[in-house]
A and B are shown apart, each in its own frame.
Chain A
């Protein structure tokens, strides 16, 4: 059995974990659920030996693990974790990344071929595809990285497998096979801990559920005996408001706020964007569905003006203040984690123009503005505007990205996977902010792999497959039908 006894951990003035007792038994899938900032990731970090606890103990089968475990102890205990933010080595091949895991191999071509062969076995059992031989991780999509991390964790043949929000980026078909694979691990007597914000998933897969709130364990219960509404209430204290919906029918005569015509981008001889034409009118939220890696990231780069198009045009011209882009990798492309919150806000050109009209910041005014945004978007930052962005939890970082995009008063927002890893409350707040923006006449292009999110938020729905975009009919507004279209089925 894996257990923690009275674990506490403090970050600065915040008590992240407050005397947490947690138990997970062999042969069970244990879901750990809670809001962002509830302390789930901290607890997972301590169990996996990445973080040290201030007090308390982690025990595996009654034996205490040393805090800040050494490499040897970690491997002997065979605790493997997949963390929320990917822990891959970008400039190495995926085989090298896996060789650093449980295979413990070198990097000679022969060793890497052996690693690849064993990895393919593990991946096949988990229902995953792996990238082509010797591909660099830096060139792979977020979904592919999550798969690689899961395979690497499985390569340890772990006794305890911890998965921190692993499923948000898997396609529906993959998810089913993956969850079945987790079931097989459980049946083999392993301990599986699944950190998730998706209640339905926790209820469907887990045997037991532990709910955390504000650094404490609120309850531990059998999944079969719990209802979604009750768990949601335990997690956040109250149910979130339903998001305000954008009007479904914007004025068809209004000129589009964003128009792409025949946008084409060729990389390594492949048309990653293939004659894409789409429009978004003022007051509408257009959804773009698709399995990650079908050209969404390149489309966002094109609209942001980060790449040069091979053909086609985008109106308004990329890079201007009319379009605000919220990228998928918020920590890589969106925020500078070492910089304080208010400086992160000032990275947006419209805000720089407003607070530094002559090249010098009005620091006091910029900080006041930041403090006001923190309040309006309920961003929890212990030290206020001076807080480093890296000190915020994932949900609060995402709200900061959205707040920054909105604060520049754009006419169009392009948001890519912005609710990834957010819990119910945080995701609802982010979506409500977008809906309000649209209701006030803004245009939104929402790119997501989460069909439920798209169906809930969007008017028109588009589907992206292999660099092409096509409209869907109202009759297609159904997860199963959309899933088929995403897989490339004919209309």
Chain B
């Protein structure tokens, strides 16, 4: 049972981690993208639709990336070039994605909710490691996207903390006018960050439909984009912290399944609410914006 719990925790943490790493990059550049929920949803739908039509999971993943990038490009244009309030723009993106995927789903697959499924992405067992007791299944027998998500953690940490691009990115998030005065190109940096985040959100969405649910239902992202925002805060705007926070939230979701299965007298809705209660509680305790980029959420307009 513990083995199943661990495997489930990793599985639940993966889409959060993918989305949160993208959001981390964006926020370090000074942009807060609430539209991440919409980007995940669009990725989830595009992924499963293309995989269903072509029968290929890889094509589905590519489509999910395309959808995530496209959605973020819309957001980038509105929030960066038009300097619209980022929270308003992001919320609009979420509503747009929920509406468009809902309509398309009903048009293409009928309003009856007739089940359609795709072949799930296969798990890749890493040889004898996968047969380790307790942790083998959780860590070494998972779909490729899981390995990718966790491999991205050191990569993103290096990019932000050590690389020249990451340094410029942080400059844009701390003091965009000073970054611009140095010729770093704030608009360009923020666009690149948002497109990269589009790729990661799309992957997070693809994971939901292609590796986890094997189908699509309306609103399948179920607030995971918002949880990813909380993951970034709890992770203190740092890739390693984000990974730890994603695992903690993934664990909470997995725990909810365990508790439901244990079938006590308590109503199951209480367990469903567990991850979200945890989000609120941790945010209240983690509190503070001390580690947040100084210019987070401020549109930059060249003087």
Q: Interface of A with B (CB < 8 Å)?
A: 45, 48-52, 68-72, 74-75, 81, 83, 87-92, 96, 99-101, 104-108, 111
Contact = CB atoms under 8 A, between A and B. Distances in A.
B167 A99 contact: yes
Contact of B163 (A45, A48, A92, A107): A107
B289 interface: no
B294 interface: yes
Given A89-B171, A92-B174, A107 B181 contact: no
Interface in B137-165: 161-164
Nearest to A105: B164
B302 interface: yes
B56 interface: no
A96 B167 contact: yes
A90 B178 CA distance: 11
B182 A101 contact: yes
A105 B184 CA distance: 13
Given A81-B181, A87-B175, A87-B181, 4 more contacts: A88-B178, A92-B174, A99-B164, A100-B184
Given A71-B185, A89-B171, A90-B174, A106 B162 contact: yes
Nearest to B178: A87
B181 A48 contact: yes
Contact of A91 (B162, B177, B183, B294): B294
A106 B164 contact: yes
A106 B163 contact: yes
B80 to A, nearest CB: 16
Contacts of B185: 70-71
Contacts of A49: 183
Chain B CB within 10 A, most for which of A74, A88, A92, A107: A107
A94 B182 CA distance: 15
Shortest beta-carbon contacts, A-B, top 10: A71-B183, A87-B178, A106-B164, A74-B183, A108-B162, A107-B167, A71-B185, A89-B174, A106-B163, A50-B181
A92 B184 contact: no
Contacts of A101: 182
Given A71-B185, A89-B178, A100 B171 contact: yes
B35 interface: no
B251 interface: no
Interface of B: 161-164, 166-168, 170-171, 174-175, 177-185, 188, 294, 302-303
A99 B166 CA distance: 12
B175 A89 contact: yes
A70 to B, nearest CB: 7
5 contacts: A50-B180, A68-B302, A87-B178, A89-B171, A106-B162
Contacts of A69: 183
Contacts of B183: 49, 69-72, 74-75
A91 B174 contact: yes
A425 to B, nearest CB: 26
A158 to B, nearest CB: 12
A51 B181 contact: no
Contacts of A51: 303
A68 B181 CA distance: 10
Nearest to A83: B181
Contacts of B294: 90-91
Contacts of B179: 89, 100
Contact of A106 (B167, B174, B175, B184): B167
A359 B170 CA distance: 41
Q: Which of A69, A71, A87, A111 has the most CB of B within 10 A?
A: A71
Nearest to B291: A91
Given A87-B175, A88-B178, A89-B175, A107 B164 contact: yes
Contacts of A91: 174, 294
B302 to A, nearest CB: 6
B177 A87 contact: yes
